[in-house]
Amino acid sequence: MSNPTVELTLPVMQDMELAATKTAEVIAKRMDLDGEKTDEISMALIEACINAFEHSKSKDNIFIQYIIDPEKLIIKVGDKGIGFDAEVVAIPKIVEKLNSDNKRGWGLQLMKELMDTVEFQSSEDGTTVTMTKNR
């Protein structure tokens, strides 16, 4: 049998990423993940969602999948936007951000630090981030 999967589609709308985190919390509780892991998932998910809302430049809904694997929670966040190359995104450093005009650029870094694996699939048809958190 395939893994139980929750799917959530969100319109581009202020704070809608919180619906994604609330859903993650219910699933994490159901999977018996501890509070720390649950919070890390929520924070990574916020970052993935706001990127899909903002950087995709798409007005289409974003699409989230939560796959409840026996070993881990797999989360995919997809948009139908312009795409990007995650390999060329610079690793942010606080010393460089101070006295720079651009203080942002922390989302990918946070996702990588907070989740067990993070992968980007991106083309000009859109981007899908796949993140996992081991049980």
Interacting residues toward ligand ADP by CB under 6 A: 47, 51-52, 55-56, 79, 81-84, 89, 104-108, 127
For residue 106, state whether it binds other proteins (rule: CB under 8 A).
Answer: yes
Report CA-CA distances (Å) from 18 to 23, 69, 121.
9, 23, 23
How far apart (Å, rounded) are the C-alpha atoms in residues 113 and 133?
Answer: 11
Task: Among 39, 58, 61, 92, indicate the residue that binds its own copies (CB under 8 A).
Answer: 61
The item of ligand ADP, other proteins, its own copies, none sharing an interface with residue 55, based on CB under 5 to 8 Å by kind, is ligand ADP
Report CA-CA distances (Å) from 95 to 92, 98, 99, 100, 131.
9, 5, 8, 9, 28
How far apart (Å, rounded) are the C-alpha atoms in residues 40 and 9?
Answer: 21
What is the total count of residues that contact other proteins (CB under 8 A)?
32
Binding site for other proteins (CB under 8 A): 14-15, 17-18, 21, 29-30, 32, 36, 39-40, 42-43, 46-47, 50, 92-95, 97-99, 103-107, 109-110, 113-114
Binding site for its own copies (CB under 8 A): 4-11, 13-16, 18-19, 22-23, 25-27, 29-30, 61, 68
